[in-house]
Amino acid sequence: MNSDSLILLSRLQFALTAMYHWLFVPLTLGLGFIIAFMETKYYRTGDEFWKKMTKFWMKLFAINFAVGIATGIILEFQFGTNWSNYSWFVGDIFGAPLAIEGIFAFFMESTFFAVMYFGWEKVSKKAHLVSTWLTAIGTNLSAVWILIANSWMQYPQGMAFNPETARNEMVNFWDVVFSPVALNKILHTVTNAYVLASIVVIGVSAWFLLKHREQLLARKSIKVAGIFGVISLLLLVFSGDGSAYNVAKVQPMKLAAMEGLYDGEKGASLVAIGILNPEKEICEDPAVAEDPYLFKIAFPKALSFLATREMDGFVPGINDIIRGGYEFTDRDGNTYIEPSFEEKKAQGTLAVNALKDFQTAKAAGDEAGMAAAREVLEANFDYFGYHYIEEAEDLVPNVPVTFYAFHLMVAIGLFFFLTFGLFLWFERKDQLEGKRWLLYLGILSVPLAYICTECGWIVAEVGRQPWTIQNLLPVNASVSGVGAGNVLTTFILFAVLFTTMLVVELRIMFKQINKGA
Do 281 and 191 reside in the same domain of the chain? no
Q: What is the pLDDT of residues 390-442, one digit of tens each?
A: 999 999 999 999 999 999 999 999 999 999 999 999 998 888 888 899 999 99
A 10 A CB-CB count for 457 gives 19
pLDDT band at 105 (very low <50, low <70, confident <90, very high): confident
Instruction: Tell whether the model's pLDDT for residue 194 goes beyond 90.
Output: yes
Q: 160-185, pLDDT tens digit by residue?
A: 999 999 999 999 999 999 998 999 99
| Same domain flag for 16 and 137 | yes
**515 phi-psi bin (left φ>0, alpha ψ -120 to 50, beta other):** alpha
The rounded radius of gyration (Å) of the Cα atoms in the chain is 25
57 domain-assigned: yes
Mean pLDDT, range 198-214, rounded to an integer: 93
Residue 2 has what pLDDT? 60
- pTM score of the predicted model: 0.92
Q: Are residues 305 and 331 in the same domain?
A: yes
Query: pLDDT above 90 covers what percent of the chain?
Result: 64
Q: Is residue 107 part of a domain?
A: yes
Question: Distance (Å, rounded) from C-alpha 169 to C-alpha 159?
Answer: 5
Q: Indicate whether 242 and 260 sit together in one domain.
A: no
Same domain, 81 and 228: yes
**pLDDT score for 281:** 84
* CA atoms of 207 and 8, how far apart (whole Å): 41
Q: What is the pLDDT of residue 147?
A: 92
Tell me if 309 is assigned to some domain.
Answer: yes
pLDDT band at 446 (very low <50, low <70, confident <90, very high): very high
Supply the range of the domain harboring residue 360. 341-388
Taking 70 as the threshold, does the pLDDT of residue 504 lie above it? yes
Does one domain contain both 193 and 317?
Answer: no
Q: Which helix (H) or strand (E) holds 139?
A: helix 125-154
Same domain, 218 and 264: no
Q: 73 pLDDT band (50/70/90 cuts)?
A: confident
Q: pLDDT above 70 covers what percent of the chain?
A: 99
Q: Is residue 66 part of a domain?
A: yes
Interval 127-154: pLDDT, tens: 999 999 999 999 999 889 999 999 999 9
The whole-number pLDDT of residue 287 equals 65
Pair 188, 226: CB distance under 8 Å: no
246/295 same-domain check: no
Domain boundary among 329, 361, 388: 388
50 with 196, same domain? Answer: yes
3-state SS string for 172-198: CHHHHHCCHHHHHHHHHHHHHHHHHHH
**Structural domain count of the chain:** 3
pLDDT at position 398 is 94
CA distance 337 to 305: 21
Same structural domain for residues 305 and 408?
no
User: Are 174 and 98 in the same domain?
Assistant: yes
CA dist., res. 400 & res. 66, Å (int) = 35
Do residues 217 and 363 both lie within one domain? no
Residue 345 located in a structural domain: yes
